[in-house]
Amino acid sequence: MVWPGIGTVTAAAAAVAAETKNSNNHRPVRLAFFVNIFYYWSLLFLILFPAVVLADCECGYSLDVDTHQYVFTDLVESNFARLRDISRDTDWARQAFNLTKDKARGDYGEMFAVDNIAANPSSDGGEGVTAGLQLVVRNQLVDGMVPVAEIDTERLDLYWGTFRASIKVTDVPGTCAAFFWYFNDTQEIDMEFLSKDFNPSNKSYPVNLVLQSRESAAAGYNAQSTGNFIKAYLPFDPTTAFHEYRIDYFPGQVFFYADGLLLGTMKGAAVPTSPGHLILQHWSNGNVLWSGGPPAEDAVLTIGYVKAYFNSSSTQRVQDWANRCKEAAGQNAICVIPTLDGTNPSPGDWFFSDHDNMTNNQTVYRESGGARLRGVWWLMAVVLVVACGWTMELW
């Protein structure tokens, strides 16, 4: 195997050493040694971590929808099936707050608690245990409230984008499972599953697609009469396995999908115009017109992953993109987002963040915290300090 350039540096070092073979001044020899150490360490670093100097996807991530190509600058990817400690995940915030029954608009209040959110990685799961992040609704009331769960993205700058979540819904009647994008109560995009409405006998599994708007707020947050509500029926049982639910939020229009199948489209003034964040909720308040419940037993919603590809409303993130995207037409400058559909079921296992050279300058959390990269940096620093000191005859 030939390593271009190595012979040149080695020959130069040998020449310096030969000139000083019989000299009492060892500094040139030490300098040659330092040059070689620096060169070889730099070469090793480039081999182990090419992403630091050569990256893909620096101009964004693309998606083709309805004959249009959209390019997104930022991402958040979370593989909850591998996550061991949700409290350390910097992409997500567990929520803790109470709602009175009046605020909850139900027969009972709601007690959102971090104790109702638990990581269950695949390495810990026994037989029959589903790996993923669990959001639990308890069956025992506490001070007139149902213990429930919510987790939100830390980032609040999610503008136009495509947002996906792999979810296994509970089969225990009496809860509402919700995956939604949120700015405020009048700018909200929802996918909601009411477990009491599932009917295995006739294979009826509805999902409610909702835009909360000023019009729905005026109707008591009942979007069913506004034209921005669709009850779609899933072609599968959402309680027996994970399925990917997807919201595409573009200027003036929203698309809803399940496993790549288009469930519904909404357009018009009710479509949000602001940046927001993602929320996953599992709740119950006894309202017979919606969640029903509380459940007769603890009900578990399990999240396999969340993937968000979006344009940021943050001035700093826009500047970060401009700094790293030097040639959008360059090879691999824009990466295609793998999309789940009937002919391509594998993208659920694909994460850009699993590849060091595809998420440079992204904020995505990695449970390792970059320990491998930091370790190499520290080792290089120690070796170079020692070599430099020896070259300067400090020891």
Q: Where are the beta strands (DSSP E) in the chain?
A: 60-65, 68-72, 74-79, 92-94, 97-99, 109-112, 117-120, 132-137, 145-153, 158-168, 176-184, 187-194, 206-212, 229-233, 243-250, 253-258, 261-267, 277-283, 299-312, 334-336
Cis peptide, bond prior to residue 294, ω within 30 of zero: yes
pLDDT exceeds cutoff 60 at 391: no
Average pLDDT on 165-175 reads 98
Q: Tell me which of 8-17, 72-81, 279-288, 304-313 is least confident.
A: 8-17
pLDDT exceeds cutoff 90 at 385: no
The pLDDT score that the predictor gives to residue 280 is 98
- Written as six digits, the tokens of 282 are 């599992």
CB 308 within 8 A of CB 154: no
The pLDDT score that the predictor gives to residue 288 is 96
The pLDDT score that the predictor gives to residue 82 is 93
Higher pLDDT, 160 or 22: 160
Contacts of residue 323, Cβ cutoff 8 Å, sequence gap at least 6? 361
The pLDDT score that the predictor gives to residue 2 is 30
CA atoms within 13 A on the CB side of 329: 0
Q: What digits encode the pLDDT tens for the residues 340-374?
A: 876 666 678 899 999 989 999 998 887 644 434 44
d(CA 7, CA 330): 32
pLDDT exceeds cutoff 50 at 281: yes
pLDDT exceeds cutoff 70 at 46: no
Could you say which architecture CATH assigns to the domain 60-315? Sandwich (2.60)
Q: What digits encode the pLDDT tens for the residues 219-244?
A: 888 888 888 999 999 999 999 999 99
pLDDT exceeds cutoff 60 at 15: no
SS3 209: strand
pLDDT exceeds cutoff 60 at 255: yes
pTM: 0.81
The pLDDT score that the predictor gives to residue 12 is 40
pLDDT exceeds cutoff 90 at 204: yes
pLDDT band at 203 (very low <50, low <70, confident <90, very high): very high
Contacts of residue 331, Cβ cutoff 8 Å, sequence gap at least 6? none
d(CA 70, CA 119): 33
Q: Tell me which of 122-136, 173-187, 361-375 is least confident.
A: 361-375
Pairing, β 60-65 against β 109-112: unpaired
- Written as six digits, the tokens of 180 are 């939604």
DSSP string, 350-373: --GGGSGGG-TT-----TTTTHHH
pLDDT exceeds cutoff 80 at 43: no
pLDDT exceeds cutoff 90 at 179: yes
Average pLDDT over the chain, rounded to an integer: 84
Distances, alpha carbon 120 to alpha carbons 83, 84, 128, 129, 302, in Å: 7, 7, 12, 9, 9
- Written as six digits, the tokens of 123 are 């390495």
pLDDT band at 383 (very low <50, low <70, confident <90, very high): low
CB 282 within 8 A of CB 148: yes
The pLDDT score that the predictor gives to residue 342 is 64
**Which sequence spans correspond to the domains of the chain?**
6-48+371-391, 60-315
Of 215, 211, 282, nearest to 249 by C-alpha is 211
